[in-house]
Structure 1
Amino acid sequence: MSARVLLCDLGGVLFDFDHPHRLRILARACGSSPERIHALLWESDFGAGSDEGRYPTAAEVRVRIRAVIGFPGTDDELDAAWCAAYRPNPAVIDTLISGHGLPMAVFTNNGPLEEDALPRLHSQAFAPFDRLFFSHRLGHRKPHPAAFAAVTMGLGVVPGDIVFIDDSGANVAAARRHGWQAVRFRTPGTLAETVREYAADVQPSLDRELGDRHGRETGMPSGPGGA
């Protein structure tokens, strides 16, 4: 069991996700109810459309939100309210920066407003990650096969080189169908076990690769007895 990239879901893994909290904040700001805000933005096709790239920029998403629910505050206030659903999970972040040696990336079903605002609001949580894959740039959300294909291509690896952590069983199953190694997130403790399992193979894999490269360059076999 080896990997070249550790790929992590955002909401429900790297961040705790509390949608009702966001609804309450938006409703309070707009003088409305959480139920009405949810109906207008998430029972319509707005939320899914944003995640799939219908609105190319964060500015366009803000304009649409204001038009739909009448949010009266500044852009910064809207960003904070919209992203109030997301709170970094310190135990997960500590596990992911534990020196396992794997490059890391994020793969999330989210739109341009989240991509613009979350890394600004929570810069330390995003700092360890080499790449961020937001679904609005892919044109599809998980678990659509095209989303997994686009991320694989973006990472520049073969599917089996990817270890994917997601809290959704449907997303994990779709990732496995695409050839990824995928694990469903349960707790920070089980995540730590998963990271240790894959990290244990990182250095041996690198040693084998370097040995093979040395053999190709010198014409000498690698491994025991190769010197």
Structure 2
Amino acid sequence: MSARHLVLDLGGVLFRFDHARRLDRLAAELALPRERVDALLWKSGFSADCDTGRYADAAQVRARIRELTGFAGGDERLDAAWCSAFRPDPRVYEILQPHRGSRPFALFTNNGPLEEEALPRRYPAAFEGFGQLLFSHRLGRRKPDPAAFGAALRRLGAEPGEVLFLDDSAANVDAARRLGWTAFRFRGPDDLARALRS
């Protein structure tokens, strides 16, 4: 079977991802030390809970962040700080442009409802052509759990051999390959260009 579905990771592939930048931005916005932000929102397991579906929507995520941190500002300020780790990669966008419409595009990402709501609103051009946004909070599992890949395939309506998948995580790529996906490790835009020529 040909790889007729192109499936990309979000942070680290379609978008550049800088968690340290997000911690700094949140620390400034929340008026808390960086280490305290990390402890409250990541080391506590809160972010992982968001990714696996504990919170039904972005409003619940925002409410919990406010409970944990005491933040009293508006949603837009909170969304901007929370999503500040993600920046579209212009080179990836350029490489994808000639291929849009040639096959189904999907994202498959370990992220929660706040990212799903805010990122397409903030960067609509980056999501152009992506018919499926497979966020882990909707699948109930995170990569590299095989159950997450199985749930993604069911959403795509695809067989493993029909998927071309790129992720910056070696563990995620290895898991995909074990399940029969055609998978490549993404270290930069040239890897995407090569995979699309394969």
Q: TM-score range by the shorter chain?
A: over 0.9
Residue 6 of structure 2 corresponds to which residue in structure 1?
6
Cα deviation for residue 116 of structure 1 reads 0.6
Deviation, 1:102, is 2.1
Task: Summarize the alignment of residues 25-64 of structure 1 with structure 2, pairs less than 5 Å apart.
Answer: 25-64=25-64
Shift of 1:151: 0.6
Asked whether the equivalents of residues 106 and 132 of structure 1 are also in contact (C-alpha less than 8 Å), the reply is yes
1:190 CA drift (Å):
2.2
- Under a length normalisation based on structure 2, what TM-score does the superposition of the two structures give? 0.96
Using the TM superposition, give the Cα deviation of residue 191 of structure 1 relative to its aligned residue in structure 2, in angstroms: 1.4
Question: 2:138 matched to which residue of 1?
Answer: 137
In structure 1, stretches of 5+ residues that fail to align are 198-227
Corresponding residue number in structure 1 for 2:162: 161
Letter in 2 for 1:189: D
SS of residue matched to 1:98: helix
Query: What amino acid is aligned across from residue 134 of structure 1 in structure 2?
Result: F
In 2, distance between residues paired with 1:133 and 1:123? Answer: 16
Cα shift at 1:71: 1.7
Q: Which runs of 5+ in 2 are unaligned?
A: none
Let me know the Cα RMSD of the aligned residues: 1.1
User: How many Å apart are 1:146 and its aligned residue?
Assistant: 0.7
Q: How much does 1:189 deviate?
A: 1.4
Specify the alignment match of 1:65 in structure 2: 65
Q: Secondary structure at the match of 2:98?
A: coil
- Aligned AA (1:177): R
Partner of 2:185: 184
8 Å CA contact retained: 1:7, 1:165: yes
Distance 1:18 1:99 in 2: 27
2:162 matched to 1:150?
no
Spell out the pairing of 1:86-97 with structure 2 (5 A cutoff). Answer: 86-97=86-97
Q: Kindly indicate whether the alpha-carbon contact (under 8 Å) linking 1:103 and 1:129 is maintained by their aligned counterparts in 2.
A: yes
Amino acid at match of 1:54: R
Equivalent residues, number: 197
Q: Distance in 1 between matches of 2:173 and 2:98?
A: 23
CA drift of 1:180 comes to 0.7
More divergent stretch after superposition (76-85 vs 26-35): 26-35
The 2-side partners of 1:9 and 1:99 are apart by: 17
Provide the C-alpha distance between the structure 2 equivalents of 1:8 and 1:30, rounded to a whole number of angstroms. 32
Question: Deviation per CA, 1:6-45, whole angstroms, max 9, x where unpaired?
Answer: 0000000000011111111111122211111011110011
Partner deviation per Cα, 1:146-203 (whole Å, 9 max, x = no partner):
1000010111111110010000000001111111111000111121111111xxxxxx
Q: TM-score, normalised by structure 1?
A: 0.84
Residue matched to 1:114: 115
Runs of 4+ in 1 over 4 A off after TM superposition: none
**CA distance in structure 2 between the partners assigned to 1:58 and 1:146 by the alignment:** 24
- Provide Cα deviations, 1:111-155, integer angstroms capped at 9, x if missing partner: 000001000001110012111000000000000111000010111
The amino acid that maps onto 2:35 is E
2:99 maps to what in 1?
A: 99
Highest relative contact order (Cα 8 Å, sep 6+), 1 or 2? 2
Pair 1:77 & 2:77 matched = yes
Q: Which amino acid aligns with 1:105?
A: A
